[in-house]
């Protein structure tokens, strides 16, 4: 069993924000695979299905970004899986819009959601797929940048990126994360 999780902020006012790039891409994975989010719990909206004869759970975090660790720990404990069977999809300001990066581990790099997950699971060896959202011109604008909505031209590039994220995720399930790191990074 694998669990693929998109993290972001659940409030509708953040629905199209850059911080929700992971959730937006997870929606594209859902559309492509036909796995629908039929189960709504306090901490996550969950969909179950099969890809390559393996049970796959898609989960959208319903906790705020900075508390994402609560959701991830809940999912890991509920389904009794190892951390290696998770894939966290999230936004990253250190990557330009349109770029993705796949890793098996790493630091939080200043990302509060990933910091929360690392603290909740007690390890930084967490498979992840980072979705580039780019940096604001001024570091002072970081919060406004991540909480701000994608501009029209950015939405088009994000849609293409979510297609790449979907392809990469399906390839992770088929070929493994190391193979995908060599192909997409």
Q: Which CATH superfamily is domain 2-184 in?
A: Peptidyl-tRNA hydrolase (3.40.50.1470)
Q: How far apart are CA 158 and CA 153, in angstroms?
A: 9
Q: ∠ CA(109), CA(114), CA(115), 5° rounding?
A: 75
Q: How far apart are CA 70 and CA 67, in angstroms?
A: 6
Question: For residue range 78-116, what is the model confidence (pLDDT) as tens digits?
Answer: 999 999 999 999 999 999 999 999 999 999 999 999 999
Q: How far apart are CA 1 and CA 50, in angstroms?
A: 9
Question: For residue range 45-79, what is the model confidence (pLDDT) as tens digits?
Answer: 999 999 999 999 999 999 999 999 999 999 999 99
- Is residue 91 within 8 Å of residue 97, measured between CB atoms? no
Q: pTM here?
A: 0.96
Q: How far apart are CA 22 and CA 5, in angstroms?
A: 8
Give the residue numbers marked as catalytic: 19
- The domain limits of the chain are 2-184
């Amino acid at each position: 069993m694998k669990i693929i999780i998109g993290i972001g902020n659940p409030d509708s006012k953040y629905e199209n924000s850059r911080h929700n790039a992971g959730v937006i891409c997870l929606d594209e994975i859902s559309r492509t695979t036909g796995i629908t989010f039929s189960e709504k719990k306090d901490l996550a909206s969950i969909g179950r299905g099969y890809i390559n004869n393996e049970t796959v759970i898609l989960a959208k975090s319903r906790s705020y970004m900075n508390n994402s660790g609560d959701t991830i720990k809940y999912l890991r404990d509920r389904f009794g899986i190892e951390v290696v069977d998770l894939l966290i999809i999230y936004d990253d300001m250190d990557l330009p819009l349109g770029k993705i990066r796949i890793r098996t581990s790493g630091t939080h790099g200043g990302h509060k959601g990933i910091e929360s997950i690392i603290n909740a699971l007690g390890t930084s060896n967490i498979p992840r797929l980072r979705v580039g959202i780019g940096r604001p011109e001024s570091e002072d604008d970081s919060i406004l940048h991540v909480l701000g909505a994608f501009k029209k031209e950015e939405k088009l590039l994000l849609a293409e990126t979510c297609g790449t994220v979907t392809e990469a995720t399906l390839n992770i399930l088929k070929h493994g994360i190391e193979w995908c790191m060599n192909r997409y990074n």
